[in-house]
Amino acid sequence: MEDNNQILFICLGPRCRKNNSESFIKPLEKILNTKIDSDICEEKIKLKSSLCMGQCKDGPNIKVNEKIYNRVNKDVLKKVLSIMKSKILAK
């Protein structure tokens, strides 16, 4: 079966954790109505934890569709979610 869900990876490697990447988990779980690393996602966006993405000095980092977003904050998260949602609506 084809999986049309998009995946937002949060880096939980040691350096990104030090830069508070874990603080993204709760708000994203709430917005997306899912749990990190769960396969159940009503909004068609899965939330996954990731090991180090190899760009520690620019963290905290997230990754969507092979693109890594650096220095993530609330505004970056909002922008990325809006891009992901527009892709879902375009399907």
Q: Is 61 in the site for ligand FES (CB under 6 A)?
A: yes
Q: Is 52 in the site for ligand FES (CB under 6 A)?
A: yes
Least distance from C-beta 24 to ligand FES, angstroms? Answer: 12
Strand 62-64 and strand 67-69: pairing? antiparallel
CB-count exposure of residue 62 (10 Å: 0-12, 13-18, 19+): buried
The full DSSP string for 15-41 is: HHHHTTGGGGHHHHHHHHTB-TT-S-B
Q: What are the C-alpha distances in Å from 6 to residues 48, 78, 83?
A: 10, 15, 11
Q: Is 14 in the site for ligand FES (CB under 6 A)?
A: yes
Q: Which of 6, 32, 59, 84 binds ligand FES (CB under 6 A)?
A: 59
Least distance from C-beta 91 to ligand FES, angstroms? Answer: 30
Q: Which of 8, 16, 77, 84 binds ligand FES (CB under 6 A)?
A: 16
Q: Given the rule CB under 6 A, which residues bind ligand FES?
A: 11, 13-16, 52-56, 59, 61
